[in-house]
Structure 1
Amino acid sequence: MDQKIINLYDEYTHSSISRKDFMKKLAILTGSTALALSVLPLLENNYAAAVTVNSDDLHTENVTYKGVDGDIKAFLAKPKDKKNLGCVLVIHENRGLNPHIIEVTKRVADEGFIALGVDALSPFGGTPADQDKGRELIGKLDPEKNLKNYLLGLEYLCKRKDGNGKTGCIGFCWGGAMSGKLAVADPKLQVAIAYYGSQPKSEDVPKIKASVMLHYGGLDERINAGIPAYEAALKQNHIDYQLFVYEGVNHAFNNDTSPTRYNEAAAKLAWQRSMELFKNKLT
C-alpha cells in the first residue's frame, strides 16, 4: 500500500482530525470515494485477525483497584496455580483496552508473568466499542490523574500475594509514551519497555532507575524524530537501555489486527527481546 495512505491513517489516529475529513483526504489519495471505502478495511483494526492465546493454562479475570477518583478497571492474566511471579503492567494504545491489548496481556502471562492490562478510560466508564470514541476520550483524560492511576496499578501488582514484588511495564503507541512516564515517576520499576511511543523530556531522564527497552519502526518519522535527544540523555545519565529500530516497518508494527502496518518478523523479534528482558529482571 502507498506509504502516503499509511501516513495519513497514522495522522488521523493520532490527532483530532475528524473521520469525515480523513475520508475526504483518503479519497483524494486513492482517486475516488469508492476506492477509499475499499481501502479502509485494510487500515482499520480487525480484531478477528489477531493471534489468540490458548487460555487453558491461564487464569484470567476482570479486576478493579482504587484509582484517584474511583475504581480502575483492568484485565488480569496469570499462569494457573503458580506463585512468586514477576508482574507486568500492559499499557494500551490510544483507543483503550481493546481485544488486541487483552490478547497481548494474555501473551505476557503465557510467558510466565502476572499481567495486568489497565483500562485508562475507566473514569469514563471503560473503553467503548467505537474506536473513534475511544480516541476522543483518551484526549480528555487528566494527564496527572491518569499517570497516578497507572502508578496505583503498579502498586496493586506489588501487593499481590502471588507476585514477587518485582514490576515492569510494556506499552504500545500512547502506551509506549506512558511506559516512559512510569519509568520517570516510579523509582521502584525494574523494567520499562516502549513500542513506538513518544519520549520523556530529556530533563526527566535522570530520574529513571529502570532498565529501558525501546522499539521503533524505521518508517515512523513522527515518533522517531524524538529518538536522538532521548538516546543522548539516556547515555549521558548512564541509564541501562537498549534501542532497536526495525527498518522498513511502520508505526504499530506489533499490532497484528492492523494488516497494513503489522510486520510479523519485526513483531516476533521485538517480542522475543522484550520477554528476555522481563525474564532477566523480574524472575
Structure 2
Amino acid sequence: MSEKVSFPVKDGSSATGAIVWPKQGGKAPAVVLIQEWWGLNDHIRSLLDRLAAAGFIALAPDLYHGKTTKDATEANRLMTELDKPHALEEIAGAVRFLSAHERSNGKVGIIGFCLGGALSLAAAATVPELAAVVPFYGVPSPAPDYSRVKAPILAHFASRDEWATPAAAEAIRKELAARGQSMDLHIYDADHAFANDTRPDVYNPDAAKLAWERSIAFLKQHLG
C-alpha cells in the first residue's frame, strides 16, 4: 500500500506523490514511476506495489496534483495542459529525494508509461542523477537534447502504435547510438498501452509480462 509523500522542488515549491517501501530491511535501490495520461490512479499505485515487491523504493509524483480521470478526452486535456518543464522539475525533485533518502542506496532509475514514457525520455536528458531509464510507448515533443543523456535506456514500444510510433523510437535509438549512448529498444506485436492490465481493449498479457521482466532485470542490473 502506498503512502503520501512530499518533497522539495528546485524552484522552492514542494511536490507530492505516492511512495511504497520494499519489505526487506537495509538500503535499497529506488525508482521514480511516471503516470499515464489518466493521472496517479489505482493502476499506477498497483505498479508501485509491484516495484516494491521486486525490492525497490518506488515513488510516483502526482503530476496532475490530485486529478485523475477515466475519460480519454479529459485525459488528453490534462496531458495537453500539463506544464511539462515544471513536471520535469518535480520529477528531478523526486529523483533527488530518493537519492538522498536514508533507505536508498543512492541509485535511482525512472520508469514511465504513455505520457510517463515520454517524460522518462525527457528526464533522461535533463536529470543527470538518473542511473537507468525505462520508457514505455512515449516520445517527448519537442525533443529534448539527447546528447545530454548519461544513463542507459531500455525502451518498450508497440508495433501498432500511431502515437509513439516504432519509427520514432528507432530514430531516437539511432541518434543515441551514433554518439555511443546506450538504448536497448524492444518492439512488441501489440497496441499502445499493452502493459495496462485495466484496459482489456489493448492489454497484451504476454508482451506485458516480457516487458516487465526485462524492465526489472534492467533496473536491478543498473541500480542494485
- Assess same fold via TM > 0.5: yes
Task: Indicate whether 1:149 and 2:90 are aligned.
Answer: yes
Between the aligned partners of 2:140 and 2:74, the Cα distance in structure 1 is 25
Amino acid across the alignment from 2:223? L
Structure 1 unaligned spans of 5+: 1-54
Deviates more, 1:74-83 or 1:264-273: 74-83
Moved >6 Å (runs of 4+) = 200-203
1:260 and 2:201 matched: yes
Q: How does 1:1-283 map to 2 (within 5 A)?
A: 60-67=2-9, 68=11, 70-80=13-23, 82-122=25-65, 126-129=66-69, 131=71, 132-199=73-140, 204-224=145-165, 225-247=167-189, 249-283=190-224
Q: 1:230 to 1:199 in 2, by over 3 A?
A: farther
Deviates most, 133-142 or 253-262: 133-142
Q: Percent identity?
A: 33
1-side partners of 2:49 and 2:32: how far apart?
A: 12
Question: How many pairs align?
Answer: 221
Contact 2:48–2:60 (CA under 8 A) maintained in structure 1: yes
The worse-fitting range, judged by mean Cα deviation, of 132-141 and 168-177 is 132-141
From the two aligned structures, give the one with the greater strand fraction.
Answer: 2
The structure number with the bigger radius of gyration is 1
Distance apart, 1:169 and its partner CA: 0.3
Give the whole-Å Cα distance in 1 for the aligned partners of 2:19 and 2:88.
19
Of residues 252-261 and 67-76 in structure 1, the stretch that sits farther from structure 2 once superposed is 67-76
Closer, same or farther: CA 128–192 of 1 in aligned 2, 3 Å: same
Is contact 2:125–2:144 with CA below 8 Å preserved after alignment?
A: no
Q: Which runs of 5+ in 2 are unaligned?
A: none
The letter of the residue matching 1:219 is R
Query: Aligned-residue CA RMSD in angstroms?
Result: 1.9
**TM-score, normalised on structure 2?**
0.92
**Larger helix percent:** 1
Q: Quick one: distance in 2 between partners of 1:200 and 1:235?
A: 20
Q: Is the 8 A contact 2:96 2:129 kept in 1?
A: no
TM-score under structure 1 length normalisation: 0.73
